[in-house]
Amino acid sequence: MVEKEEAGGGISEEEAAQYDRQIRLWGLEAQKRLRASQVLLVGMKGLGAEIAKNLILAGVKGLTMLDHEQVSPEDPGAQFLIRTGSVGRNRAEASLERAQNLNPMVDVKVDTENIEKKPESFFTQFDAKVVFCSVKEALEVDWSSDKAKAALKRTTPDYFLLQVLLKFRTDKGRDPSSDTFGEDSELLLQIRNDVLDALGVNPDLLPEDFVRYCFSEMAPVCAVVGGILAQEIVKALSQRDPPHNNFFFFDGMKGNGIVECLGPN
């Protein structure tokens, strides 16, 4: 017997039918917690679209998509919520119709203001906040220590690739662009040498052809990483399972992912 929505925080029969497979997978109590959760998702590029899709289908109570940027010509290649002909529109607004159609039971909203202008009080209304931000400090590892040297052989090169991309973004204030492919490729190689040398790691650990994979979002990679990240958010909201410890890297060329435990955690 399914509880009625009015009866003290249960779920309706319509919701029970909609989320039947999920309830069988992680239980009614976990689904109730999801159903009561408000989520803020900042950034609606390809990865953001995949996260939004998974959370909406999972049945959170509400999802607010925040993005102050406009749709670029490259966005539709990996961002499936954006319709053709939306270049120049706000990225979150252009995603709203298809996002809402995924699950009418979820309250999907749009916020077009820059997150940097938001007061702290704005964030208190959400049970989970998904923000794509710099993870520079979290990725800092002293590779000169004996423990780190021992772990180096089994550490994925993707970790060092991320370090290079973070340095590029810090220096240039943007991601690598196909419009400046030649210039950015040379800079990426130079940053690779500088960053890995500074870490005390041989630059050859990251082969030179890595630059080919730095110039656009790949829809299949967004799908995999977005699925994993949405799964971690569902874990946190439903209190069902422990999260990954503590980094997930996915290699879109090899088609494999790995969980790395880096630093003191």
- pLDDT category at 142 given cuts 50, 70, 90 is low
Other beta carbons within 10 angstroms of residue 155's beta carbon come to 18
Whether the predicted pLDDT of 109 surpasses 90 = yes
Largest Cα–Cα distance of the chain, in whole Å? 64
- CA 256 to CA 248: how far, in whole Å? 11
Taking Cα atoms as reference points, which of 11, 236, 238 lies closest to residue 129?
236
Average pLDDT over residues 108-112: 98
User: What percent of the chain stands above pLDDT 90?
Assistant: 43
Which pTM does this prediction carry? 0.75
What are the helix (H) ranges across the chain? 13-18, 20-26, 28-35, 46-58, 91-102, 120-123, 136-139, 146-152, 157-172, 181-198, 219-238
Average pLDDT of every residue of the chain:
85
CATH fold of 13-128+219-258 reads Rossmann fold (3.40.50)
Between β-strands 247-251 and 256-260, what pairing exists: parallel, antiparallel or unpaired?
Answer: antiparallel
Residue type, 75: D
Query: In the chain, where are the structural domains located?
Result: 13-128+219-258, 135-212
How deeply is 89 buried, as exposed, middle or buried, from its count of CB atoms within 10 A (0-12, 13-18, 19+)?
middle
pLDDT band at 170 (very low <50, low <70, confident <90, very high): confident
The predicted-structure confidence for 3-54, as pLDDT tens digits, reads as follows 334 333 467 888 888 888 888 888 889 899 999 999 999 999 999 999 999 9
Amino acid 1: pLDDT: 31
Q: What does the alpha-carbon distance between residue 221 and residue 255 come to, in Å, rounded to a whole number?
A: 9
